[in-house]
Structure formats: C-alpha cells, structure tokens
Amino acid sequence: MTAPSYSADYLRSLADPEAFWAEQAQSLHWDKPWDRVLEDSKAPLYRWFTGAEFNTCYNALDRHVLAGRGDASALIYDSPVTGTQQLFTYRQLLDRVAAVAGMLLAHGVKHGDRVVIYLPMVPECAIAMLACARIGAVHSVVFGGFAAPELAKRIDAALPVLILTASCGIEPGRIVEYKPLLDQALQLATHPVGACIVLQRPQCAASLQAGRDHDWREAEAAATPAACARIRSTDPLYLLYTSGTTGKPKGVVRDHGSNAVALLYSMRAVYDVGVGDVFWAASDCGWVVGHSYIVYGPLLAGCTTIFYEGKPVGTPDAGAFWRVISEYRVKSFFTAPTAFRAIKKEDPRGELLARYDLSCLKTLYLAGERCDPDTVLWAQAMLKVPVVDHWWQTELGWPAIANCIGIEAFPVKPGSATLPVPGYDIQVLDNDGQRVAAGEIGNLVIKLPLPPGTLATLWNDEAGYLENYLARYPGYYLAGDAAIVDDDGYFWVMSRIDDIINVAGHRLSTGSMEEILAAHPDVAECAVIGVADALKGQLPVGLVVLKSGVTREHADIVRELIESVRASIGAVAAFKQAIVVPRLPKTRSGKVLRATMRAIADGRSFAVPATIDDPVILDEIAQLLKGSAA
C-alpha cells in the first residue's frame, strides 16, 4: 500500500470532488442514499448529498453503541470552576440525549422548529444540541457572554418555539445569572416564546415564571425517550450567528449530511484522531469550534471529547490545560493563540508543565485569530510537538488551510497556516480578480463549489449570502481576509479586509459598537478601531466626537459608553477604552480614516492619505491615544 499523500488527496478532491466526497461519506450511516453528490443546478448556490436522509445524532451516538462501543468514553465534563468531573459513556450520553429529545417533543418542538440554546459549558449544552439533531429541530446556540440585546436579536431571527437555558454560568470570581438576561431578552424580542426550560445549578437558583418556564430535571425525568427521526440530509442542523460588517449578525446555516462528512474527514486528515482517541478543543459551544470540535466532530469520529468549563489561567493556575491533557490522555489539543499568550504571560518558563506527564499529546492546533510566530515558537519549545496554526471561519465550519498531519506532515513555518486542506481551492486575487504573484498580498478567495460542511446559506437571507460572499468575484467565495501565498505555496493570512476585529479569538463587528456609541445623547459621531493587544490580539478602542455644547465631564461620558457596550453586546466585547477627540480624520469625501487611526494606535508607520481633509487632526489623535494608553 502506498503511503498517504497530501498532494494525491488534494488533487483528487479538486479534480473529482463528487467521487472524493462520496468515498468519505461511506463511513457514515445513511437512512436513504443520495440522488446526487453535488447539486449544481442553482450555481453559485450548491448543495451536497441531495435526496439523501441522514440523522446526525444517530451517527454521533447510536451508530457507536450499536457497534458495541456503548461503554467507551464519549464525553468528559471537567469543570474547575465548580470542582466537578463527570464521565459519560456513549450509552449514557445516548440515554440522556434521547430523554431530552423526548422532552423537546413533549413541549411541542417539531421537525424544522428552532430551539435557542443559551447555556454555559455544562454537558446539557451538548445534550441539547444532539437532542435537537435527533428529532430534526434546528438549534441556535447563543454564547453565554452575550448580553440580553444580542440574545434578543438571535431570538427574533430564529423565531424559536422553545429556549433552553440554565440558572447561571460561572466566570472566575463571579456568578453570571442567565435567567434575568433571558427574561430581559424576551421582553426586548418581538417574537413570543412559548416555553423556556431552565437547568437549575447549585450555585444559583433561577425564579421560574409559572406557565412559561419549566424545571429541566423535572421535564427530562417526565419525558419518554425519543427515537431518531428521518431527516433530509440537506435539512438545517443548526444556525450560528457571527459578526458581519454591520451590527446585524449573520446566521450561518449548516445542514446534516454534508456537515458530518466534512467533520469526520477533518478529524482524521487534519486532527489525526480516530475511534478511541481523546480529542480536546478548549472553546465554548457558543462558537463554531464548539459545534464542530467539542460536539459533532469528535463524536462522529468515535473519540472521547473533553467538555471544559474553565479558563487557561486562573482556574486555578496556568497549568490548567496541562492537567487536563495529562489526566485524560489527550492526543490532539485545539485552542486559540490568545489562551497560549495568557499562559506564556503567567508561566513564561513553563515551570507548571514539569508537573505533568504530557507524553500523550501529539499535536497542538491553534486557530481563531492570526497566530504570532513568537507564540508558535514558545508552544513548540514548551510542548515539543508540532504546532498546527490553521485557518477557517464560522461560515466554513471546518479547516480550510492547515498542516494536514493526519495525511502528511509538512514543515511548520511560524505565522503561516500552511497549505489548503483537500476540498478547498484557495487563491489570492487582486482587486481586478487576477492571481497575485508569490509574496504579494491580496484577497483570500475560495473557488466554488465550496466543499461539504460549509455554509448552505444565511438564515432567511439568501440575498445577503450572494451579495456579501459570492458577488465580489463571480465563481469564488470571498473570505474577508487578506493573505499572501509564498513560493512554497504556504498561505499567510494577515488581517481582515472589513471592520471585523478579533478579540481573544472572538470575532466582533466594530460597526455594531459604533451603533451603540452613536446612540449616546452626547455623541455627535464616532469610530471604533481594533488596536493591537499583546494578550488578546486586538482590543476595541472608541473615538468619539461630542455634540457642541456638551459640558459634562468626559470621564463620565466615557464610563457610560463603556457600560452601554457591555450592556448591549456583552462583557465579551472587552470594550474598555474610549477617548473624546475634537474631530475624526476623514477623506474629503467624508470617509473616516479608520486604517490610519489603527496604524497610529499601533505605533506603525503610515502614509498620510492625500485626500485627507484636515491632516492636523492625526497628530492630535496620536497625542490623545498616547495619553489614554499611558
């Protein structure tokens, strides 16, 4: 047998995608085979595995139990913030999921209905997602760090029949009560939600509204376990909102069959794990990493997944990740570069590492933001394993540029995400749609059709999908990132080309923060820029111009602005700095020079744009930014 080769897989995936993906799909159970592997009659909108019936929950749980792996470990819940460790075998997880699926049915949830899940990192979050998948309901998980207005937006977009929540989440040093946030969101939302099921945690009891709210444990105990429904492979499995270039989040729609095919392939090809291996993605179910690599990917592959409710540092120390890796014998570990920077800051010499046996760990995977070479080198030196910086996005659902260790490992170049993953024809184009020369920066695009597992469309916004992603270069998907390809074909993803910033691996829209600042009665106009931060990658900074005649203390106004971003978007926005400026620098046509202000804030050199209306303001802003940072 010949050794697996990256180039053989890659070339075949592009030359004959239907044969390539049909072959990958054979490892899964299909209730009905597909009519077509790739439906292209509505190009540029493509669908994979049309005509097939496929149940994601069956493939993630029942299939393994029926194959005799019911007693194998499926999910380990490790929660340093509550002092809990709990193991679920595949059979135990299946039993809980079937019961919760029955609970959903008993509360009127039907195939195709949406269920909003607003939960912290408790196993019930995975159980709820899988239970929705089991009966064909569409889940929309909302990250716990979002405030009530963001939750309300997602409720009004998904129009759920039911919301699943918990009494609280636990952040180091504070309890975050979820129920008051949910109650507030339900008041803000225009869509009436019939029922909420609340998981009461020992750390805090939520008050339940009679008639609408139900106790999770009682409802689950009363439920009749539900069997797997027959579901069209192209039916939506979930909606997941991500920041777009406006304050209105985009609802990415992922379907059942193609998602499972892509995730299963990636577990082997990218993450180098299979049946019985322990895989850990230290993220949150509220993000795409949680969907793909805490819940669905590892379970589809028959791995053990770790469900971690804690932080890289402070729960209790910077050795937390090493403890989990060594205790559960994690083979492949995935986290965000910001988590490693936090550990490096607290334990630069890796002294806590020496306490643990990490011989089980074979590869470290980093994604979610551009990874600075220093962090890659530090991680490599500490862990002595290959570090795979890989690039993807919520829309894509699984890695698009990576070092595919499971097929063939390539030398690591710190700062580069390596090569396109099989299935993705990635190119870098200039503004005229021509490929740029090696070493030159351009727009990162993916030639259509995108592979299975990528977004089917945007929820209730097909026109938005076409306009935002497919219109700029006909025949290509526009990723929204600027990139370089080098002479070896390695991709270097450098920055966004829009107003999205990346704060601690979280993607946020500066446009939505500007909307909030602009709503303050004293603010005439404003700009929010992402400035470089050694720990979180980027942090938002607001620049506000006050209305003439405002005489209030600037410090009071700034405090109110910070509070309103926290109350509207959530603590996760990490909006903690705003400065009052006399004017905003603009071109003569009135465009605010955000990139120039970013360069000033980061201390980078920049050319004063020829079209600037008032060059003096740049010096004034530089002084104000310097003063506020000091």
Residues that bind ligand AMP (CB under 6 A): 242, 288, 367-371, 389-391, 393-394, 417, 479-481, 493, 496, 502, 507
Q: Which of 25/342 has CB closer to ligand COA?
A: 342
Does 571 bind ligand COA (CB under 6 A)? Our answer is yes
Rounded to whole angstroms, how far apart are CA atoms 227 and 218?
20
Does 375 bind ligand COA (CB under 6 A)? Our answer is no
CB-CB contact of 352 with 299 (8 Å): no
Q: Which does 176 bind (CB under 5 to 8 A by kind): ligand AMP, ligand COA, none?
A: ligand COA
Rounded to whole angstroms, how far apart are CA atoms 28 and 204?
41
Q: Could you tell me the smallest distance in angstroms from the CB atom of residue 383 to ligand COA?
A: 17
Query: What type of residue sits at position 19?
Result: A
- Write out the binding residues for ligand COA, residues 114-133 only, by CB under 6 A: 120
Enter the tokens of residue 544: 């506000």
Our measurement of the distance from residue 69's CA atom to the centroid of its chain's CA atoms, rounded to an integer in Å, reads 30
Strand partners, 164: 117, 197
- Write out the binding residues for ligand COA, residues 496-515 only, by CB under 6 A: 504-505
Stretch that binds ligand COA, among 80-88, 301-309, 335-343, 471-479 (CB under 6 A): 335-343
Strand partners, 457: 253
Q: Could you tell me the smallest distance in angstroms from the CB atom of residue 529 to ligand AMP?
A: 16
Task: Count the residues of the shown chain that bind ligand COA, applying the rule CB under 6 A.
Answer: 25
Please, how many CA atoms are within 13 Å of residue 471, restricted to the half-sphere of its CB? 7
Does 313 bind ligand COA (CB under 6 A)? Our answer is yes
Which stretch of DSSP H or E encloses residue 559? helix 554-568
Taking CA atoms, 210 is separated from 1, 196, 197, 585, in Å, by 65, 11, 12, 54
Q: Which of 312, 399, 480, 540 binds ligand COA (CB under 6 A)?
A: 312
Does 311 bind ligand COA (CB under 6 A)? Our answer is yes
CB-CB contact of 290 with 265 (8 Å): no
Binding mask 527-556 for ligand COA (x = CB under 6 A): ------------------------------
Rounded to whole angstroms, how far apart are CA atoms 397 and 255?
11
- Write out the binding residues for ligand COA, residues 139-168 only, by CB under 6 A: 144-145
SS3 79: strand
Rounded to whole angstroms, how far apart are CA atoms 61 and 159?
28
Does 336 bind ligand COA (CB under 6 A)? Our answer is yes
Q: Which of 52, 98, 126, 289 binds ligand COA (CB under 6 A)?
A: 289
With helix as H, strand as E and coil as C, how does 183-218 read? Answer: HHHHHHCCCCCCEEEEECECCECCCCCCCCEEEHHH
Does 574 bind ligand COA (CB under 6 A)? Our answer is yes
Rounded to whole angstroms, how far apart are CA atoms 506 and 115?
23
Q: Which does 242 bind (CB under 5 to 8 A by kind): ligand COA, ligand AMP, none?
A: ligand AMP
Rounded to whole angstroms, how far apart are CA atoms 543 and 549?
18
Q: Which of 120/442 has CB closer to ligand COA?
A: 120
Does 171 bind ligand COA (CB under 6 A)? Our answer is yes
Does 597 bind ligand COA (CB under 6 A)? Our answer is no
- Site of interaction with ligand COA (CB under 6 A): 120, 144-145, 169, 171, 176, 282-284, 287, 289, 311-313, 335-336, 338-339, 342, 368, 504-505, 571-572, 574
